[in-house]
Amino acid sequence: MFVAVLFAILGFGFLIIIHESGHFLVARAFGIQADEFAIGMGPKVFSQTWGRTQFSLRAIPIGAFVMFENPEKFEEEGMDPSRDHPYLDAPTWKRFFISAAGPFFNFLLASLILIVIGFMSGIPSNEPIVGALLPEGVAESAGILPGDRILSINQVQIQVWNDISALIGPASGEQITILVLREGQEKTFTMIPKDNTEGRGVIGISGSVKRFALWGSIQNGIVQTGQFISETIYGFSHLFQKDALNSFMGPIGIVSITGQVAQTGFSNFIWFISYLSVNLGIVNLLPIPALDGGRLVFLLIEMIRGKKMNEKIESVISSVGFALIIGIILLVSFRDIMQLR
């Protein structure tokens, strides 16, 4: 379990590094150098300066950040803080693309992961086709074979693989009737699902894997990333509904479920990392001050007004947004801890 949690922490940290790399690399493409690119938080353990940027490794191996305008650096180098602001003095449209680059890199990473998985090992298909059987499992004993397409369970039509678990899960200990299509012929089987470790009914089957050639894997990776984005946006559209907070996880909950996925295999872990990458990108695009989305709103206002917002007002709004985010994280994390007990 320790190794799984370690993988989870490193995986989530990697997503944040990719996110911050997006900001950094697009800024460099515009000829803007950052004052610092840091991996981790807390005090510096190691640092090296290339050009204007100081690359540092910090003591707490969680996350990363890019600092474009560091007041401490102006003081250290005896520079006039009122001059030489490569980021703040850049055109608004450049700063807009720099802010949007972090989430974009998260979406790009998700697509690349899904492309590689689709090409190398294939991805789980949502078609209701049996891919493999658990030895001496309920389905194998009843006569189900790999390749069987499940048409219905207890006369309820099956459209996608998820329909199967939705019907079998609550039927533990109860007899069910499964209609399958095998080589053009329909066959009927009866069986009684057994309990799994979570108390849900299972019959010992797994779905099929869909494999792709290179071009097909590229298309699938892009399409599936779009589906992830759509699903995540749909989830956030219910943000203000009653008890919506119960559907969100804090860092502790994310690490816990990522660790559980890691225990099921490296391929599943990588697939889940791509899903988390999309979620991280969408979260950062929320129009909340202190997030990239809030910054993008400020920059849009700046474009419309033709001048910068008052720095003090923007700073106060960002501070309030940051406090709100920290409060939500602490609240959700406390709930996650209580659920782990």
Catalytic positions are 20
Torsion of the alpha carbons at 56, 57, 61 and 63, rounded to the nearest 10: 20
**Pick from 142, 165, 141, 143: which is nearest to 153 by CA?**
165
Residues ≥6 apart with Cβ < 8 Å to 245 = 328, 331, 332
CB 161 within 8 A of CB 169: no
CB 137 within 8 A of CB 205: yes
Report the C-alpha gap between 249 and 254 in whole angstroms.
6
Coil, helix or strand at residue 56: strand
Rounded (5°) CA angle 218-223-228: 125
CB 118 within 8 A of CB 221: yes
Ramachandran bin of 50, using left for φ above 0, alpha for ψ from -120 to 50, beta for the remaining angles: beta
